[in-house]
């Protein structure tokens, strides 16, 4: 028997403001990557649907509630999570405005970031890759 593989979900939420797309990020409250910016997301609970898990984590970490999400891709490169082999399913949502954010749970802070400025940021895990893939669906 090999090591246990965990399943997580990550939400890429885009909003368009003045013809510019912004993405919603949270600042991690806990290790790994404590203090770094990341996509809202987390572990899928036993018996939980993937999209349900993504919506739950998004609401818990940012206060944002979305009606629908689009599954983007699975990300499972070994080493993407220092806690162990983790496969993340990326989900995409588009909302019309910058909603008020109320970070809680595993999020220290939350904010909207212009996509063009993300290359200057060191995002947690492989979240830059997840955002790049999700952008192709815009």
pLDDT band at 138 (very low <50, low <70, confident <90, very high): confident
pLDDT tens-place string over residues 68-127 = 999 999 999 999 999 999 999 999 999 988 778 999 988 999 999 999 899 899 999 999
Q: Give the pair of three-digit tokens for residue 15.
A: 């909003």
Q: What is the pLDDT of residues 20-39, one digit of tens each?
A: 899 999 999 999 999 999 99
What does pTM read for this prediction? Answer: 0.95
């Amino acid at each position: 028997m090999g090591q246990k593989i965990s399943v997580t979900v990550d939400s890429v939420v885009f909003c368009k403001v003045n013809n510019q797309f912004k993405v919603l990020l949270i600042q991690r409250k806990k290790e790994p990557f404590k203090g770094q910016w990341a996509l809202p997301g987390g572990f899928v609970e036993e018996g939980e649907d993937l999209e349900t898990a993504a919506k739950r984590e998004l609401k818990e970490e940012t206060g944002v509630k979305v009606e629908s999400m689009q599954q983007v891709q699975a990300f499972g490169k070994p080493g993407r999570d220092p806690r162990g082999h983790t496969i993340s399913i990326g989900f995409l949502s588009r909302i019309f405005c910058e909603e008020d954010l109320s970070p809680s749970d595993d999020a220290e802070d939350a904010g909207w970031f212009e996509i063009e400025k993300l290359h200057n940021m060191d995002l947690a895990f492989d979240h830059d890759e997840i955002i790049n893939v999700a952008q192709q669906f815009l």
